[in-house]
Each structure stands twice: as structure tokens, then as C-alpha cells.
Amino acid sequence: MIFQKSILALLFASGVGAVGALAAGPHALAVWRHWDLESGSARQLRLERRSTLVSTGMALLLTMQSVALLLFVFNADRMASQFVGAMCAVGTLRVDGFGFPALLAQIAAFFGSAVWLTMNAVDGRCRDLPLTRAKSTLLLALIPVLLLAFGLELAYFLGLEANVITSCCGSLFTSRAPGLGGDLAAWPPGQAMAATFLVLGGAAVVAARVARRGQGGLALGIAGLLAFAASLAGIVAFVSLYVYEDPHHHCPFCLLKPEYGYRGYAFYVPLFAATSASIAAVALAPFASARARGQTSAERARAATRVLAGVALAGFVLVLVLMVSQVASSGLKLFTHD
Amino acid sequence: MSALIELSGVTKVFHEGRHNALVALEGIDLAIEEGRITVLKGPSGSGKTTLLTILGCLARPTAGRVRVAGEVVSNLPETFLADMRRRTFGVVFQQFHLVTGLSALTNVMLPAYPTGRRHGEIARRAGALLHQLGLARLAQARVEWLSGGEQQRVAIARALINDPPVILADEPTANLDSALSAEFLGILGGLRDEGRTVILSSHDPRVCDAPLVDHVVRLLDGKLAA
Amino acid sequence: MRRWISRQALLIDYTLSALARRGGRSLGLLVVYAGVVFLLASTMLFTNALRSEARAILAHSPEVLLQKLKAGRHSYLTQADLDRLGRLRGVSRIEGRKWGYFFDPVFGATYTLMAPASNSPGRGKIHVGDGVARTRGLSTGDTLALRSAAGGLHVFTVERLFSPESSLVAADLIVMHPADWGAFFELPDDVFTDAALSVVNPLEVRSIARKVGDRIPETRVILREEILRTYDALFDWREGLLLALASMAVAAFAILAWNQASGLSVDERREIGILKAIGWDTRDVLTMKLWEGTLISGAAFFLGFLGAFVHVFHFEAALIAPALKGWSVLYPRLVLTPSVDAVSFLTLGLLTVLPFTLATLVPAWRAAITDPDEVMRGTT
């Protein structure tokens, strides 16, 4: 089944991203070892020049990586019609054992790419290029992630066969199912709602504070990750019920289908954007602190942190508002007052 | 008068580490005074052009430090060096090096393109400069159709587009006759009177011995001569 | 932000003038680039349209089709079989269908002869599909003589022609009265080729199929969703295969782009040196070169895609249709509904613009790192 245009495009994008990162590896290593802005040596000049190429190339490849995640999920949903037993992306991803691992690796690559892209943008604006070494270290760490994502994707697509009968969301996101999917489906909606709204609200408050001060990236990162986890849990535990107007349908992927107005994208896009902004703020935290050398760089890092916090705030508030309005406007009434 | 540009122990070696390594400059300590006309004088191969490129931050020294307005610039990353160079220096090349196929006006505007200023604003300033230099009617003419003297004036206007405090000119009179040379020196005097700093490299006695030159720096075999 | 936009606008302005001055060089590349986009886009648009057509047509077909088997081969259902099905929960209608194939040795074509239970033509009259009419040169009022397997000649009068718009489903169709059908194929009245079951809830299709199999053994149950799945897979596979083969063209094109980008003329090299010397930095020159690539990509993408759209929806994808449509003597006249989906667009971009951009990135960077002092020293 590998001869499908979306699959070919995804493998190409992922493959090129992995190869590109691998090719940039020696340069990243050289920067990590030899970068010294004070020296005017020929080697330093070469490193600076190559950094322009590597930065431009990696910015292109990693941006594409982020877009590829969207295409991966969209394609998984679209291909469901080709597998017996599949009704949404879950069914497609369960055709062989590599589907969900490939998705998780792609998500990890997405967040890693978002952090790198943020660091790259801020670094380019500072005179003393304070993030170059940190950026290179991150790139070295991203190489195995990108390779893994590509490998898992390739294994997944090679394993797709039309005659395999797969099981779908109904057997994964049900209270009787073992594992995390079952646990979340079994979580009482009232409790889930309270917990999710509380964590999202808390993350929004932290984001607002960081946006004002320009510092506190670490706190934002932690709050952002908690909000990400809580939102995903909340989507499975109660939001999906209100979208489908069915007290037993917990699938977080069926939300992406056209019959539900592609509502899933409205939840996931701001959630992922807000989370990546939160994580990126952690990377900037050491450079935004008052103790950082290079006052202008610290100011730039703080300004960037404010922007990231703003994005996180907008994203988490939007997700919260969407969840509340979904509950309020749904035909399903889980809690009735006598 | 304070020193605008200071060189300390500047050395420049081309093809360092290879069999054809060439020491173009050695141990140069030099201060360029603000608001004056300085000439770098010396025979061909003495290192004038190399010294000019280092003063204008077009090249980095192999050793030593370069300070501009008190700030060490010799180890700035390229992006910021280029930004500083754009704001501080305007260069007139020996062969003018105008971009053929483009009009005089567009050539004058080019150094301002990366600054992010609006197109209209840059065009207006470029037009004003050409007018100041008597070339208003040739603004839309392709530069390859202009005479040598006209091309040089376009090159001067281009050097002034970002309103830099320092003008560099490399062998500016090499391709000009006496009349045009005198005209050129007059323009330089005008720039100095505006408060700009002018640095020339030349071995032409018409330039080196001109009364309006404030300071002559002699070079021989890459070193400062007495 | 405003400064960034101004800077990009000025760099684009310079890039356009540079392209105009060196137009000839870029024109050849643009033509090849647009050709590659044209090929890939035609493939995608055509298969998308076929897929949509198949979906649209099958939307009206029955959810479940029942065929009788004897010794593993197709056999006929009888009224008794249908009665045995009885009432099935979730099935709103059970209809026995009469249809069969007739091979016309004169034209080497196979017609589908069908007799609907209701609204059939009168005895001796037929309704004929566009493909049959074209092949046999028929119009309303003409007669058509068909020789049955038993040797008898049956003459029918054409009462109506199906419109060309219905060609995809009715090209080879001849509709007649059930009695005429039975007489032609020498089959009794209570015999059916297959049965169509209309199911209320699509989610129950599989369980109904199981029940049918239980009540009437030796049957083959065909589900509409299975047909859809097969068509999806078939078109996807054919499309992907063609794209994979086209990847050779994309690779060759990327090499061409690399070659072109690497081979800077003396003039161009000098120009970049001048730009660096007058205040542009490596990033500015690199951005300018990337804009050059982007503008060429944009133009090629637009031209290639537009060409593909016209090729597929006005010229019925004449260049690639045989590879994708399959084989038949009676080709229906296919008028496809123009449609573009975001996934195809994105995929096309990934398979064309990305290789081009990557192929030109390193040469662009090499050009951008020209030392500004090389201009001063005259070594540019």
C-alpha cells in the first residue's frame, strides 16, 4: 500500500528531514566543540558561514516536519475506508504495531522542531548569537528522534495491508478496555471536566504572568505540559461525548472527521501550538534571566518569551472556551438538575 | 578630535597555513580621526587596499583588534558586522562596480534594500542625492550608458544612501582625468565639511598632496612607514 | 514586523529585476519544472476525480448485493430463495434483479442487458446507453437485432437513449422488458441474477450479511463498502505507482536545478560580490536567492497546475487516462467534476517545490558567502 500519494509524500518529507539532520550533525558537533565568538579565526568564520546554511536548511526541513504531522493524521483518517473494521484514524493506526509508535515519534519530532525553530529565530536576532551552541546541542538530540520517526513511519506504511482486519476506537476508548484509553474513558465526566478546566485555567494564568514579566519559562513549560496532558485526557473523558452526543463514544480521533465539522482540528491546532510555545519558553529561560551575560540578548530573549507566553495564553484560553462551549451547546445532557 | 576607528596590532595573512600564504599587513596600529580626510599612501602592493578593507570592516584581521566608535567589531558575527558596516561606511570602488542593467537610481538605492526602510523613502533620498551631484536627469538611465565621471558620481551617491559617517574610496582618481579628479576632490571636501570622515587609498600625487588632505598614512610592504 | 515586510518586498523587487535580466536561463528550468508539476498534478487530479465519481455513483447502489453460487460459480437466485430470506431486521427492501451480459461478435463489445422490476420499457422496446448507441450508430426509432445463444434473432426498437452524462454507469446498458429479457436468455420469470438489499443503518451491514449467509447458504454477499474500499485502493495504488515512476522525473529535475543554481555566470558572481561589498550580508543574498527559487516555484506550480486542470477536466486527461482508467472497448464518455482537495495540493507541493528548494539551497548559499573584500581586491 506504499504506493499512495500521501504516503509517498510523508515518507519523502520524513526521510529528507532525517537525512538533512544527519548531514547537519557534523556541523552541530563542530559548533558544540569549537564555537568561540571572541576568536576571529578562520575556523570560527567557517563555522559562522556554515551556520547560515544549516540554519536555513533545518528551518525549512523542520517546518515541513511540523506540517507533515498534520498530513499524517489527516491521511490516517482518510485511509480508514480502506481497512475492514476501521472507522477513523485509530483503526488505520492499529493495522500493524507501528502505527501509534510512529504517531508518538512524530509528535515528539514536532515539539522538538518547534523548540529548535524558536531558538533559531531568537538566536538570529542577537548580536552575540547566544543560542547557537544550545541550538546545536538540541539538533544533535533531534537527530535520533527524526531517524526514529522516519524508521517507524516506514515500518508502519510497509506493514499496511488491505486484507488485515483492524479494530477501531470502540475497543480502545471504552471503559472496559485495558490501558490508558480505558482508564480515561472510565473517568467520571464531572471529575474530568473539573480537573481539565482547572489545569487549563492554571496554565493560562501562568502564561499571562510570564507574558507580563518576560521571565519564568520553566514554570510555563511545566504548566504547558500539564495542560497538554489534561486537555488530551479531557477530550477522551468528556469533550468527545458532547461532540458525538453519545455517552459512550470517547474517541479523540473521530473528532477529525468531516461529519463532525473537522472539530478536532479546532481543538488540537491551538493546543499543540500553545504547548510547543510553552516548551520553547523553557529553552529560552536561561537566556532571559537577569543574570545572563549580554544585556541586549537577555532583552531579546525576554521579548521572545513574552511572545511565546502570549501564544500559549491564547491557545490554552481558546481550547478552554471551545471545551466549555461544546459542553454548553451539545444536545447531550449528562448532568440534569431536578 | 577623537579617534573614530582604531586598529591595534592588526595583521592580515591571506591563505594562512598554506604554501602560498601572504602577509598583506603586519602589526598595524592606527587611529583615524573623526571628521578628517585621511589618505593611505603607498606603492602598488604595499597593502593600502587591504588596510582599507579592514578599516571599512569588509574583511576581518587575522590578528589584532578593530574598534569603531569605541566598540570592538573585529569579532562580531557577520550579520551584525554587515549591519554595522551598512550604517557606518559608504564605499566608492576603484572600478565603481555598479550593477549593469539597472538604472542609476536603482544602483544608488541598493545598499538600503536590506535595511527595511520603505521603498518610497529610499527612492526619495536616492533622487535627492543624484540631484545634489548634478545627475537628476540621468536617474533612469542605465549605468552602462554613463560616462566615467557620471558613473563615479553615481558611485558616490550610492555610498551616501545610508547616510554613513565614514566614506571610503579606493584609488578614486585612477580612471579620471585632471578636471574630474579636481571635481572629485571638491566633492570629498564637501563631505568632510558636512562632518563626515573620509579615508582614501591612493598613490596619485594629485590626491596625496592635495591641500584638503588632513592626514597621510604611509605604507610600505604591509607595514606603516615613517 | 513592518521592517521585515519592507525588507522582503525590496529583496523580491531586486529578485524580479535580476530574473528579468537573466530571463533566458531561468526559462528552460521553468518549462521543465512546470512540466513535472503538470505530470504529477494531472495524475492526482484525475484519480481524485475518478474516486469522487466512483463514490458518487456507488452512493446510490444498494448496501448489500446477494449472489447465489453453485460449485463456486455464479448461479441464479429464485423467488423461493428470496422468500426464505423473509423479513430481516434492518433491511428496508429486498429486490431481485435481472441482468446479464451479451457479447456482440460484430463489434467485439459486451453489452449489459437489464430488466428492471418497475418502469421498464414496453415489450419489444429498449432504452440504450450512450456507448452502445455510438458503437451501433443508433438513434430513437431505430431497430436493434440481437442473436441469442439459442440462435434466435430478437429485434427491438430503440425507444430512448440514455444521456451522455450518465455514460459512466450506462454506456454499455440496454434496458428491456422483463419478459423480453427472459425470452432472450431463455430464463423463467421467477429467476434473478442477484438481489439488492437496502439496509437502514450502515453500521449493521456486516451483521445483516452474516444473517443472510445463515439463511441461504451457498451465497456470496457483496457489501457496497467493500466495493468502495476496492476502488479506493485500486485508484490509490495506480496513482501512487505513477507518482513513484514520476519520481525519476523529479529526481532528474532536482539535478537540473542543482546544476543550474551551481553554474553562476561571471556576471552573476560579480553582482553578488558587489552586493556584499555595498552592505548586503550573507543572509540578505541567501534570502534573495531563495526568493528567486520561490518565484520560479510559484510560477511553475501555477502554470503546471493550471495546465493539469485544463488537461484533466477539459481534455479528459488524454495523456494519462489509459494508464489509470483500465481497459474496455466501450469507453464511457467521462465528464469529470472539477475538484481540488487540500491534501493533493499539499502533497504536490511536497513532491515538487521541496526537492527544488533543497537542490538549490546549497548552491545559493555558496554564492551568498562570497567575500566582500574580493570585490575590492578585484578577485571577483
Residue B70 within any structural domain of the chain: no
Report C:88-107 residues touching B (Cβ under 8 A). none
Q: Based on the fold, state whether residues A144 and A264 are members of the same structural domain.
A: no
Does any domain span residue C220?
A: no
- Judging contacts by C-beta atoms under 8 Å, the chain B residues touching residue C6 are 116-119
The DSSP output letter for B137 is G
Q: Which residues of A116-125 are buried (b: 16+ CB within 10 A; e: fewer)?
A: bbbbbebbbe
Report the residue of A1, A2, A4 to disrupt the C interface, i.e. the one with the largest count of C CBs within 10 Å.
A4
Based on the fold, state whether residues A151 and A218 are members of the same structural domain: no
Contact A40 B74 (CB under 8 A): yes
pLDDT band at A1 (very low <50, low <70, confident <90, very high): low
Query: What number of helices (H) and strands (E) belong to chain B?
Result: 7, 10
| Cβ neighbours for A98, distance < 8 A, ≥ 6 positions apart | A152, A153, A155, A156, A159
Residue B162 gets which letter from DSSP?
T
The CATH number that applies at residue B209 is: 3.40.50.300
pLDDT tens-digit series, residues A19-51: 999 999 999 999 999 988 777 677 888 888 899
C16 touches chain B (CB under 8 A): no
Interface contact flag, C229 A84, Cβ < 8 Å: yes
| Nearest partner of B93 among B188, B159, B186, B25, judged by Cα | B159
Q: Mean pLDDT over all residues of chain A?
A: 88
CB atoms within 10 A of CB A258: 8
Q: Which residue among C3, C373, C375 sits closest to B116, beta carbon to beta carbon?
A: C3
Task: Please state at what angle helix A263-288 crosses helix A99-123, rounded to 10 degrees.
Answer: 50
Asked if A56's CB is within 8 angstroms of C290's CB, the reply is yes
Domain boundary among A165, A198, A227: A165
CA dihedral B190, B196, B202, B205 (to 10 degrees): 40
**Please, which residues 253-272 of chain C have a Cβ atom closer than 8 Å to chain B?**
267, 270-271
Q: What is the DSSP pairing of strand C91-104 with strand C125-128?
A: unpaired
Residues of chain A positioned with their CB less than 8 A from the CB of B74: 40
Range of the domain at C84: 77-192
Q: Which helix (H) or strand (E) holds B37?
A: strand B37-41
Q: Which residues of A touch B77 (CB under 8 A)?
A: 37, 48, 127-129
Q: Which of C241, C286, C350 sits opposite A56 (nearest CB)?
A: C286
Q: Are residues A157 and A241 in the same domain?
A: no
Half-sphere exposure of A327 (CA within 13 A, CB side): 20
Chain B residues with CB under 8 Å of A49 CB are: 78
Nearest Cα of chain C lies from the Cα of B33 at a distance, in angstroms, of 23
pLDDT recorded at residue A286: 86
**Beta bridge pairs of residue A109:** none
Q: Please report whether residue C5 resides in a domain.
A: no
Examine the fold and report which residue of C140, C174, C192 is the final residue of a domain before the chain moves on: C192
pLDDT one digit per residue (tens) for chain C, 380 residues? 788 899 999 999 999 998 888 877 788 888 988 998 998 899 888 888 888 877 777 777 888 888 988 888 888 988 888 888 777 778 888 889 999 999 888 888 889 999 988 888 999 999 998 888 888 888 999 999 998 888 889 999 999 998 876 766 778 899 999 999 999 999 998 899 999 988 887 778 888 888 888 888 788 888 888 887 787 777 777 788 888 888 888 888 888 888 878 877 778 888 888 898 898 988 899 999 889 888 988 899 999 999 999 999 888 888 887 776 665 545 555 667 777 777 788 888 888 888 888 888 888 888 888 877 776 666 54
Q: Which of A72-81, A136-145, C156-165, C326-335 has the highest mean pLDDT?
A: A136-145
Give how far A14 is from chain B: nearest CA, Å.
Answer: 31
Helix %, strand %, coil % for chain A, to 5? 75, 0, 25
In a domain? residue B16: no
Beta-carbon separation of B61 and A40 below 8 A:
yes
* Residue at B188 is within a domain: yes
**pLDDT bucket at A288, cuts 50 / 70 / 90:** confident
Inter-chain Cβ pairs, chain B and chain C, closer than 8 A:
92
Residue B118 neighbours by CB under 8 Å, 6+ apart: C6
pLDDT tens-digit series, residues A255-273: 988 888 888 999 999 999 9
Q: Return d(Cα A76, Cα A166) in angstroms, integer.
A: 13
Cα distance between residue A294 and residue A297, in whole Å:
5
Whether A47 and A113 map to the same domain: the answer is: yes
The pLDDT of residue A338 is above 60: no
Of B75, B79, B80, the CB nearest to A38: B75
A223 and A129, same domain (yes or no): no
Nearest by CB to residue A52, choosing from C241, C283, C357, is: C283
- C233 and C371 housed in the same domain: yes
Is there a domain that residue C134 lies in? yes
| Contact check, Cβ <8 Å, B78/A48 | yes
Q: CA–CA separation, C270 vs C292, rounded Å?
A: 17
Secondary structure of residue B92 in the 3-state scheme: strand
C-beta of residue A92 within 8 angstroms of C-beta of residue A253: no
Nearest CA in chain A to B10: A40
Sheet holding B22-33, edge to edge: B22-33, B3-14, B63-68, B71-72
Burial of C253 (C-beta count, 10 Å sphere; 0-12/13-18/19+): buried
Mean pLDDT computed over A214-232:
93
Q: Which residue of A has its CA nearest to C202?
A: A87
Does the distance separating the beta carbons of B78 and A49 come in below 8 Å?
A: yes
For residue A194, give Cα distances in angstroms to A37, A199, A200, A230, C292.
51, 9, 10, 10, 53
Chains that touch C (3 or more CB pairs under 8 A): A, B
> Of C192, C213, C246, which residue sits at a domain end?
C192
- Residue C338: Cβ within 10 Å count: 11
How far apart, in Å, are the Cα atoms of B41 and each of B170, B209, B218?
11, 10, 5
C-alpha cell at A184: 480515561
More confident residue, C173 or A163: C173
pLDDT at A114 over 90: yes
Please state, in angstroms and rounded to a whole number, the distance separating the CA atoms of residues A315 and A317. Answer: 6
Are residues B91 and C274, on separate chains, in Cβ contact within 8 Å?
Answer: no
What span, in angstroms and rounded, lies between the C-alpha atoms of C208 and C289? 63
Please tell me the distance in Å from C303's CA to the nearest CA on chain B.
28
The domain boundary residue, chosen from A134, A165, A196? A165
Cell of A243: 461532540
- Crossing angle of helices A99-123 and A42-78, in 10° steps, is 140
Q: Look up the domain containing A243 and give its range.
A: 168-338
Residue B21 lies in a domain: no
Examine residue C234 and state whether it is found in any structural domain, yes or no.
yes
Which strand (E) or helix (H) includes residue B95? none
Q: Tell whether A156 and A207 lie within a shared domain.
A: no
B141 found inside a domain? yes
Shared domain check, A274 and A338: yes
**Both A252 and A300 in a single domain?**
yes
pLDDT greater at residue A154 or residue A249:
A154
Domain that holds residue B163: 37-58+78-224
Q: What pLDDT was estimated at residue A171?
A: 80
Residue whose C-alpha is closest to residue A47's, from A60, A62, A29: A29
Asked if A3's CB is within 8 angstroms of C236's CB, the reply is yes
User: What are phi and psi for residue A287, nearest 5 degrees?
Assistant: -90, -15
- Residue percentage of chain B with pLDDT more than 90: 46
**CA geometry: angle A2, A5, A105, nearest 5 deg:** 65
Report the distance separating Cα A218 and Cα A309, nearest Å.
11
In angstroms, the CA B133 to CA B114 distance is 24
Reply yes or no on whether the pLDDT at B194 is more than 60: yes
Domain check: are A178 and A326 in the same one? yes
C238 shares a domain with C160: no
Give A49-63 as a DSSP string.
Answer: HHHHHHHHHHHHHHH
Burial degree of A240 (CB within 10 A; 0-12, 13-18, 19+):
buried
Q: How far is CA B130 from the centre of its chain?
A: 18
Domain count, chain C: 2
Pairing of strands B197-202, B37-41: parallel
C267 domain-assigned: yes
- For residues A16 and A8, what is the distance between their CA atoms, to the nearest angstrom? 12
To the nearest whole angstrom, how far is the Cα of C97 from the nearest Cα of chain A? 27
Nearest to C351 by CA among C244, C235, C239, C238: C244
DSSP 8-class letter at B103: B
Q: What domain count does chain B have?
A: 1
Work out the mean pLDDT of chain B and round it to a whole number: 89
CA–CA dist A97, C6 (Å, integer): 51
Which residue in chain B has the smallest CA separation from C285? B114
State whether A160 and A176 are in the same domain.
no
Partner C, chain A 107-146, Cβ-Cβ below 8 Å? 124
- CA dihedral (A321, A323, A328, A331) in degrees, to 10, reads 150
Residues C256, C363, single domain; the answer is yes
What is the tally of structural domains in chain A? 2
Confidence tier at A156 by pLDDT (50, 70, 90):
very high
Q: Distance between CA atoms of C125 and C106, rounded to whole angstroms?
A: 22
C211 in any annotated domain: no
Find the closest chain A residue to B17 by CA distance. Answer: A42
Best residue in C250, C343, C360 to probe A by mutation, most A CBs within 10 Å? C343
- How far, in whole angstroms, is CA B20 from its chain's centroid? 28
- Give the model's pLDDT for residue C324: 67
Residue-wise pLDDT for A298-330, tens only, equals 888 888 999 999 999 999 999 999 999 999 998
- Report which listed range, A161-165, B166-170, B184-188, C129-133, is most confident: B166-170
pLDDT of residue C380: 45
> Apex CA A16: angle with CA A14 and CA A21, to 5°?
95
Residue C135 sits in a domain whose CATH number is 2.40.40
Q: Left, alpha or beta for C279 (phi > 0: left; psi -120 to 50: alpha)?
A: left
Residues A5 and A223: their CA atoms lie apart, in Å, by: 39
In a domain, B220, yes or no: yes
d(CA B77, CA B71): 14
**Do C273 and C245 belong together in one domain?**
yes
> For residue C257, what pLDDT is reported?
85
Which residues does chain C have within 8 Å of residue B174's beta carbon, measured at their own beta carbons?
A: none
C372 in contact with chain B, both atoms CB, cutoff 8 A = yes
| C1 within domain boundaries | no
Interface contact C236-A74, CB threshold 8 A: no
Tell me what pLDDT residue A291 has.
61
Q: Is B99 on the interface with C (CB under 8 A)?
A: yes
Contacts of A7 in chain C (CB under 8 A): 240
Mapping DSSP onto H, E and C, the string for chain C reads CHHHHHHHHHHHHHHHHHHHHCHHHHHHHHHHHHHHHHHHHHHHHHHHHHHHHHHHHHCCCCCEEEEEEECCEEECEEHHHHHHHCCCCCEEEEEEEEEEEEEECCCCEEEEEEECCCCCCCCCEEEECHHHHHHHCCCCCCEEEEECCCCCEEEEEEEEECCHHHHHHHCCEEEECHHHHHHHHCCCCCEECEEEEEECCHHHHHHHHHHHHHHCCCEEEEEHHHHHHHHHHHHHHHHHHHHHHHHHHHHHHHHHHHHHHHCCCHHHHHHHHHHHHCCCCHHHHHHHHHHHHHHHHHHHHHHHHHHHHHHHHCCCCCCCHHHHHCCCCCCCCCCCCCCCCHHHHHHHHHHHHHHHHHHHHHHHHHHHCCCCHHHHCCCC
Interface of A with C in 17-56 (CB under 8 A): 20, 49, 52-53, 56
Select from A227, A228, A263, A258 the least CA-distant residue to A242: A263
Radius of gyration of chain A (CA): 22
Sign of CA dihedral B34, B37, B42, B43: positive
Q: Assess whether C286 and C367 both reside in one domain.
A: yes
